[in-house]
Amino acid sequence: MEGARENAQQKAGKATGQMKDAAGQATEQAKQGVGQATDKARSTMQQQVDSRSTEYGEQVGSTAQDIRGVAEHLRSQQKERPAELAERAADQVERAGGYLRDSDADKFLRDLEDFGRRQPWAVMAGGLALGFIASRFLKASSSRRYQQSTRRSTPQQFGDGSESPRPEPLPPSAGGAVTPDPPATPVGGGPHA
């Protein structure tokens, strides 16, 4: 009897160990799946940032060329000081375009982190400004939605500016039944008279 009990305990222990191993393998596979999905999402995001920044860098570079054209036009009109300012602006815009075109997502993140470490107050001020802008946007869109919802509940207006008549409740007659008033006839015999 005791041998059977020990045999059953050994089998139960072996089964428990196998279940733990299977659970551990399933957990490990789930972790690997999540890790692969995270890596894929990160890679896709980096590719998007890289392609968009390159595109924006080219657009900014084109803008710099346009500003240089303005500077040349100002020089042709003998306006040296404004032409010099436009040329400086074009240099700055071209430098920004080159940064966008040549940088990748990791460089953007490193530069942003470095800026945040050097200028924490500027980052906080930028966050506050973005929060304020977002709140103004939400408030403006909220009032627009409110105005649209109140317009739907107001009476319709005709082309001449008059409102459509609201139906009034019918008064009860002497017999207790409700009878509608006779329709009014327009003066002049009809609507097209």
DSSP string, 161-176: SPBPPPPPPPPB-TTS
pLDDT at 14: 74
pLDDT in tens, 133-184: 999 888 888 777 777 777 765 555 555 555 555 555 555 555 555 555 666 6
Same domain, 75 and 141: no
- Range ranked top by mean pLDDT from 19-23, 103-107, 174-178: 103-107
CB 103 within 8 A of CB 52: no
Same domain, 34 and 127: no
pLDDT in tens, 174-192: 555 555 566 666 665 555 5
Q: Across residues 27-35, what is the average pLDDT?
A: 81
Label residue 61 exposed, middle or buried (CB < 10 Å: 0-12, 13-18, 19+): middle
Same domain, 93 and 136: no
**Cα(first)–Cα(last) distance of the chain, in Å?**
115
- 65 within a domain of the structure (yes/no): yes
Same domain, 74 and 138: no
Q: Across residues 81-86, what is the average pLDDT?
A: 91
CB 52 within 8 A of CB 101: no
Same domain, 49 and 108: yes
Question: Which residue in 54, 38, 39 sits closest to 107, CA to CA?
Answer: 54
Radius of gyration of the CA atoms of the chain, in A: 38
Residue 105 pLDDT more than 60? yes
- 158 within a domain of the structure (yes/no): no
Number of domains in the chain: 2
Domain boundary residue among 118, 141, 170?
Answer: 118
- 188 within a domain of the structure (yes/no): no
Q: Across residues 128-137, what is the average pLDDT?
A: 92
- 18 pLDDT band, cuts 50/70/90, is confident
pLDDT at 119: 92
Mean pLDDT of the chain: 78
**Which residues constitute the domain of residue 125?**
120-149
